[in-house]
Amino acid sequence: MQRIIYGDLLEVLKRSLKPVDLYNLARTCKRYKKSISIGCIKKSTMDEINRRLGIIFGEDLDEFVAIFRNSKAVITGSFITQCMLGEYWKDSNIKIIVNSDELNEPFDHRQLLRPEFQDAKHKFRNDKKIIKYMFFKYRVVEAMPSNHQCMSNIVFEVNETRIMFETAKQHKYDICKNTYDLDGSIFIYKMNEIFAKRANFQPDCIMHMKYRARGFSFYDICGESVTDYNIWKKLDIDFVKITPYDDRSQEKRLQILSNDRNEYDLHKYVISECWAGNLYIVHGDQIPGSHLVSCFRKRITNACLFKEIYPGVEHLHSFDDNKQTLLVINTFDLLDTIH
């Protein structure tokens, strides 16, 4: 029987495991930590990125990579983070940074012809730039101009995957500030935080919800943990206590809050709706703005962080300029503990 030794097995593992698995394996004992270097994890990350790009671009991958390198472009953003973690995130695109001159190069993409990209023998030329190539090859789904009549980003769809080209790294989270040039050079900004799934807090409810659902925890600028209790102060969202105006059941009140046609008015500490009448009494000295919105409405497209954390708890949103206040039912036991 052929003898299998430790070194042989480890080399097989290093070639087959995902980056996060290599990272965790290296933490199990000193021997693995010594054998699995940061370079091994970086190589595994590049292999996983290349594998996923191969699935997305299929037989066009080689020509895409050749022109990508010709433009000196780099991949950045959450796509690299996903590859490191071995995850696939919903509603996430691939971000690619290109030179500003190329992103804003004036040309009529409707006039791009095949001879520009293929020689007489129908072999693909790699001396072209990536933006022209993407216009020639794929469908553009979004082109966002900036305030200076220049393009902020252009988004193409490649086999149901969105590829965004932009000129600067616009990442709120440190875990996404990574780059890869498809030529063997990768930069990983905060590897430990990526694998620990810890992200720097950003006062953006929608982004926070997405990364919270992906299993991330958060820390503030001082390094302290951001929890479901202290997040509201960091988001500059105040709370006001409300009580039911009458003896209608919670189920009935939630039905009213879920009605798309209902509009709410606040007058002398009473919240009312023109069809349903008086609903709640507002308590305390802090009177919110009169523009009230129910996130229980079926047509509301923006998700609500409070409803995500505390589902089924009656509340309304008040907006006064850029200030938001949550009017929350007094039966919510944790109301006095939130700060």
Cα separation values, 124 from 61, 66, 108, 137, Å: 12, 10, 21, 12
- Predicted pLDDT of residue 263: 85
Contacts of 208 (CB under 8 A, 6+ apart): 201, 202, 218, 231, 305
Q: Which of 56, 255, 58 is nearest to 163 (CA)?
A: 56
Quick one: residue 142, left, alpha or beta (phi over 0 = left, psi -120 to 50 = alpha)?
beta
Contacts of 238 (CB under 8 A, 6+ apart): 232, 286, 288, 323, 324, 325, 326
d(CA 30, CA 49): 28
Report the relative pairing of strands 315-320 and 291-293 from DSSP bridges. antiparallel
Lowest mean per-residue pLDDT among 19-28, 110-119, 184-193: 110-119
Q: Name the token pair of 213.
A: 């659902």
When the pLDDT of each residue in the chain is averaged and rounded to a whole number, the result is 87
- Predicted pLDDT of residue 162: 96
Amino acid at 269: Y
Q: Which of 314, 334, 325, 235 is nearest to 287 (CA)?
A: 325
Lowest mean per-residue pLDDT among 12-21, 116-125, 205-214: 116-125
pLDDT tier at 144 (50, 70, 90 boundaries)?
confident
Per DSSP, the three-state class of 300 is coil
d(CA 192, CA 56): 28
How far out from the chain centre does Cα 334 lie? 29
Q: What percent of the chain has pLDDT over 90?
A: 57
Cα separation values, 57 from 54, 129, 158, 163, 164, Å: 5, 17, 7, 11, 15
For 207-227, how does the pLDDT look when each residue is reduced to its tens digit (9 = 90+)?
A: 999 999 999 999 999 999 999
Report the relative pairing of strands 270-273 and 277-282 from DSSP bridges. antiparallel
pLDDT tier at 1 (50, 70, 90 boundaries)?
very low
- β-partners of residue 298 are none
pTM above 0.95, yes or no: no
Place of tokens 């292999």: 47
- Predicted pLDDT of residue 339: 56
